[in-house]
Structure 1
Amino acid sequence: MKETLSLGRIAGIRVGLNWSVLVIVALVAVVLADGRLPTVHPGHSAWVYWALALLTAVVFLASLLAHELAHAVVARRNGVEVDGITLWMLGGAARLHTEAPTPGAELRIAAVGPLTSAVAGGLFAGLAVWLDALHVSGLLVESVAWLAAINIVLAVFNALPAAPLDGGRLLRAFLWYRTGDRLRATRGASAAGRALGWFMVVTGFAAVLFAGNLSGMWAALIGWFLIVTATAEARQAELRGVLKGVPVSRVMTPDPVTVPETMTAGRFLGQAPFDRYRHSAFPVVTPDGGVAGLVTLGIVNQVPAEARSSTTMGDVMRPLPEVETTAPGDMVVDLVPRLQESRERRALVLDGGRLVGIVTLADISRVVTWLTAATRPRS
């Protein structure tokens, strides 16, 4: 899930919001301001209900962020790189650069999320009791109590043994420890995730059709998300199995065609390099041969016709810090998730800062097809 708004870094970890997180804010605000708060504590003005509901929604987002930060911090302590955290419509996601090296590390990374939510729920519950003892406004006590309940529900739900939930990670850690086979463990956790997802979809639609309970649509949506994500995890595991031990150097296109950063857009489109090559993306190099960035046909086509004679590749390229890079000795399995999240779906291969190749998802797909055919047993 890509971020729409960056919140900077917390504990050195990049944090961002996806636009769909507004759905959570809106849902919580409506449930509290139009339902729970005026029902339990009537007699207040509408703006009081809505202000408190929006504040509660923001605190709930903070608790979701704490859940994901716990995953990220423990992951780093167990040798797993973290690319960042994104909050979105169905919660949050900590993007891990690599997988856990051992079943024990997997267990620790997975378990800390539900534990954090459970602790948050306990703290909110204690705060609600304390505020009630102080005879603070019942509206405030109700909001804090709701935060306690929702965090405990979040902890319990995430602990269910089904991928991609944290409980699915715990199940995978257990199966991995018992069998010694990470791929087999992932298949088991993914199957459990699909089973739970279908159960939620069926029961959610049943609640809507037979009981008229529209909240069943939310359950069905979460169930469908579990099915799709669990299936994707299983496929990703199969991919990792096929590509295990394959370095980038075996997949990349070596010595790619480059364009100088001083070349104008007009010359690029009219003379080189499309009259000789079928590529759609080219590394941009400096006069001394250094790598400056990456340019694509799509980027150059956005330059107005009247400006192409004065606009250079250096003016429109993606600067190197914004381009995915890798090294020849890096493993392809670790590069795939980064390419899937990247804007250009390709990476420049650098060896000591020197450009030696370029690799795309299409390159990797061809290798996967080849390796799969080579290892498939004959009938």
Structure 2
Amino acid sequence: MSAVRATFSLGRIAGIRIGVNWSVLLIFGLVVFGLAARRLPVAYPDRDWPLYWVTGLVTAVVFFASLLAHELAHAVVARRNGVGVDDIVLWLLGGATRMRAEAPTPRAELRIAGSGPLVSLLLGVLFTGAAWLLAAASASALAVEAAAWLAAINVLLAVFNAIPAAPLDGGRLLRAFLWWRTGDRLRATTGASAAGRVFGWVLVALGLWAFLWTGALGAAWTALIGWFLVVAATEEARQARLRAALGGVPVRTAMTPDPVTVPERLTVGGMLSDPGLSHGHVAFPVTNDRGGPVGLVTLDRATGVPVPERRRTTVGEIMVPLAKARRARPDEPLADLVPWLDPGAANRTLVVDDDGALVGIVAPSDVNRAVRGR
């Protein structure tokens, strides 16, 4: 599945970048509105309206914190099992944890996949206990209702994610089982992806049927989730086939060695006026005075600078810093770059050796060419 892109960053937790996609605003607004304008007033109609909205807002924030906890569980367990994690992005349909490689064994896959639903289930139990304690202490009825809603939604999240269909966590649990039984990771992924497509189409059919008969927006949402599962499961199977085709191929095989670089002190105007930089390339590694890599700059970023500011704006000011750019070592498996095959100038991988020197660059087209060669 193509990675979901973060619109803005929330910083880092346990060393993992946390991002938020703009689509979160939609689901956040729906949660707040659903609680403040419907559920809470219906359950307790005698309260002042600001209380409904404050309660709905706080509950929505805690809900997204629960989603983040679910994804953090995946990330932390993945790192403990030797799988690197780039970031976590919260978006319209929940969260996405972007890992740098696949689990090394079925047992590791089982741990990584099962950790998220387990955390959601534990949160459901904790919020159930919180609702009971608040009720016993004669706390605000709105607070009790909010805790009960959070308990129910976390349990629902755990159950839904445990369904054995890719790309859900249950699909990864199914893949771990099939991998263990067959010893073939590609075959296991294909089976889990097929289950995901079947389940997705069932949701699409049920959602559309219910929407046509009732006109309920919830039914349309079910169809949307089903379509997402179909697309994501199909993409997961495609990436698995690409990984299999690239098995044993190192990054150095596909990289462009000694790429054209841009000094970080060069102005944007100087970069755009240099025929050697503006012709035939769309992205360039940026280097410091010693020739070491410090980032990546694209023509899109450069041309996005207003013309009057190009003479005083340096490349270093507009580049993607090295810490945020995709990097790889020459001897790393090329298959690990498959998740970054999205088109776009920014989807380049800087190849850096163990001494920190830039030795090459890899574009999505380079990986595709290596696949065709195999």
> TM-score, normalized by length of structure 2?
0.91
Tell me the residue number matched to 1:70: 73
Tell me the residue number matched to 2:169: 166
Tell me the residue number matched to 2:336: 334
Mapped pair 1:52 → 2:41: no
> Is the 8 Å Cα contact of residues 81 and 97 (structure 1) preserved in structure 2?
yes
Tell me the residue number matched to 1:289: 291
Tell me the residue number matched to 2:261: 258
Bigger Rg, structure 1 or 2: 1
- 1:247 CA displacement: 0.6
Distance in 2 between the 1:325 and 1:308 partners? 28
* Change beyond 3 A, Cα 1:253–1:147: same
RMSD over aligned Cα, in angstroms?
Answer: 2.3
Tell me the residue number matched to 2:30: 27
Q: Please state whether the residue corresponding to 1:215 is helix, strand or coil.
A: helix
Tell me the residue number matched to 2:360: 357
* Change beyond 3 A, Cα 1:221–1:344: same
Q: Please state whether the residue corresponding to 1:356 is helix, strand or coil.
A: strand
> Is the 8 Å Cα contact of residues 283 and 345 (structure 2) preserved in structure 1?
no
Tell me the residue number matched to 2:276: 273
1:8 aligns with one of 6, 11, 19:
11
Tell me the residue number matched to 1:85: 88
5+ residue gaps, structure 2: none
Aligned residue runs from structure 1 range 198-347, under 5 A: 198-261=201-264, 263-273=266-276, 278-305=280-307, 313-314=315-316, 316-338=318-340, 340=342, 344-347=346-349
What is the percentage of aligned positions where both structures have the same residue?
59
Q: Please state whether the residue corresponding to 1:344 is helix, strand or coil.
A: coil
Tell me the residue number matched to 1:377: none
For 2:237, give the aligned amino acid. Answer: A
- 1:318 CA displacement: 4.0
Q: Please state whether the residue corresponding to 1:84 is helix, strand or coil.
A: strand
Tell me the residue number matched to 1:114: 117
Tell me the residue number matched to 1:133: 136
- 1:51 CA displacement: 1.1
- 1:269 CA displacement: 4.0
1:260-289 CA-partner distances (Å, limit 9, x unpaired) = 4555555544454158x6233333444443
Q: Please state whether the residue corresponding to 2:51 is helix, strand or coil.
A: helix
- 1:200 CA displacement: 0.7
For 1:182, give the aligned amino acid. Answer: R
* Change beyond 3 A, Cα 1:86–1:295: closer
**Worse-matched range after superposition: 115-124 or 330-339:** 330-339
Distance in 2 between the 1:117 and 1:44 partners? 31
Distance in 2 between the 1:171 and 1:95 partners? 20
Higher relative contact order structure (alpha carbons within 8 Å, sequence separation ≥ 6): 2
**Worse-matched range after superposition: 195-204 or 285-294:** 285-294
Distance in 2 between the 1:254 and 1:75 partners? 32
Distance in 1 between the 2:186 and 2:99 partners? 18
1:217-251 CA-partner distances (Å, limit 9, x unpaired) = 11111111111111110111011011111111100
5+ residue gaps, structure 1: 372-379
> Is the 8 Å Cα contact of residues 350 and 361 (structure 2) preserved in structure 1?
yes
> TM-score, normalized by length of structure 1?
0.90
Distance in 1 between the 2:192 and 2:338 partners? 21
* Change beyond 3 A, Cα 1:291–1:124: closer
> Is the 8 Å Cα contact of residues 2 and 341 (structure 1) preserved in structure 2?
no
Mapped pair 1:99 → 2:102: yes
